[in-house]
Amino acid sequence: MRRCRFATIVLVPIVLIGLGWSHAARGADKSAIEQAQALWQEGYVLHILGRFERAAEAFRKSIEAHPTAEGHTYLGWSLSRLGLTDEAIDECEKAILLDPDYGNPYNDIGAYLIELGRANEATPWFEKAARAKRYCCYQFPHFNMGRVLLMEGRFAEAKRSFEKALEYEPNYPLAKRALELIREHELKSL
């Protein structure tokens, strides 16, 4: 069972995200792309294992071999775990310049702004993520938008955002829990 869970958590995202590499690969040196992809995969596994400094190092090497939106976005993710949130945002902005159709960096910037206490600036980023052409996880920007709306006390709109997240991922536990909390709040306010 543990092995199956590891494969789902680590290997499935590698395959899904790896599919996007063909977008970055047009006209580039094939060996550089293969090296970048292998380094990115190493960084991803290290990140999942909680080795954020080593993951960031692997992502940086991936970017040196061949810059991709994925490389910059996931470098940002590791930097955020190291408490370097402003640098994480910078990496996501670089990712957007490389591939404006890739949804992850938009959502990540919004999430980092929430972490920085600047939730009021996050909304446009989540909206861009939700409209991105290339994104594996549309439930995330809808969930995160719901978080912002909850912070603003806009419960009905937050509820719709969490429900939208569940349309993309019916078993998304955070969205389910958020809806439960809203329902509890609605009952208390009666």
- Using CA atoms, how far residue 77 sits from 53, 144, 180, 182, in Å, is 11, 16, 29, 29
Ramachandran region of residue 153, left (φ > 0), alpha (ψ -120 to 50) or beta? left
Q: Which of 99, 114, 147 is the last residue of a domain?
A: 99
Same domain? For 80 and 157 the reply is no
Same domain? For 64 and 154 the reply is no
> What is the rounded average pLDDT for all residues in the chain?
88
Domain tally, the chain: 2
Q: Report the distance separating Cα 76 and Cα 104, nearest Å.
A: 11
Q: Report the distance separating Cα 24 and Cα 26, nearest Å.
A: 6
SS3 82: coil
Is residue 107, in this structure, part of any structural domain at all?
no
Same domain? For 61 and 7 the reply is yes
Q: Report the distance separating Cα 121 and Cα 140, nearest Å.
A: 17
Average pLDDT (170-183) is 96
Same domain? For 155 and 72 the reply is no
Same domain? For 41 and 89 the reply is yes
Same domain? For 75 and 129 the reply is no
Angle between helices 123-131 and 104-115 (to 10 degrees): 160
Query: What confidence tens digit (pLDDT) does each residue in 57-74 have?
Result: 999 999 999 999 999 999
Is residue 160, in this structure, part of any structural domain at all?
yes
What pTM value is reported for the model?
A: 0.84
Are 119 and 109 within 8 A, CB to CB? no
- Using CA atoms, how far residue 92 sits from 62, 66, 118, 122, in Å, is 15, 16, 17, 14
Average pLDDT (152-161) is 95
Closest by CA position to 116, among listed 86, 93, 94, 142 = 86
Same domain? For 51 and 3 the reply is yes
Q: Which of 66, 99, 132 is the last residue of a domain?
A: 99
pLDDT band at 22 (very low <50, low <70, confident <90, very high): very low
Domain containing 75 equals 1-99
Same domain? For 155 and 90 the reply is no
Is residue 83, in this structure, part of any structural domain at all?
yes
Is residue 86, in this structure, part of any structural domain at all?
yes
CATH of the domain at 30: 1.25.40.10
Are 122 and 113 within 8 A, CB to CB? yes
Are 151 and 181 within 8 A, CB to CB? no
Is residue 16, in this structure, part of any structural domain at all?
yes
pLDDT band at 186 (very low <50, low <70, confident <90, very high): confident
Same domain? For 76 and 11 the reply is yes
- pLDDT tops 60 at residue 6: no
Is residue 167, in this structure, part of any structural domain at all?
yes
- pLDDT tops 80 at residue 180: yes
Phi, psi of 102 (to 5 degrees): -85, 120
Same domain? For 2 and 93 the reply is yes
Query: What confidence tens digit (pLDDT) does each residue in 26-60 have?
Result: 556 788 999 999 999 999 999 999 999 999 999 99
Is residue 41, in this structure, part of any structural domain at all?
yes
Q: Which residue in this structure is represented by tokens 């580039």?
A: 28
How far does the chain reach from its first CA to its final CA, in angstroms?
45
Same domain? For 85 and 31 the reply is yes
Same domain? For 94 and 172 the reply is no
How much is the pLDDT for 8? 43
Q: Which two tokens stand for residue 79?
A: 């930097």
Query: What confidence tens digit (pLDDT) does each residue in 89-147 have?
Result: 999 999 999 999 999 999 999 999 999 999 999 999 999 999 999 999 999 999 999 99
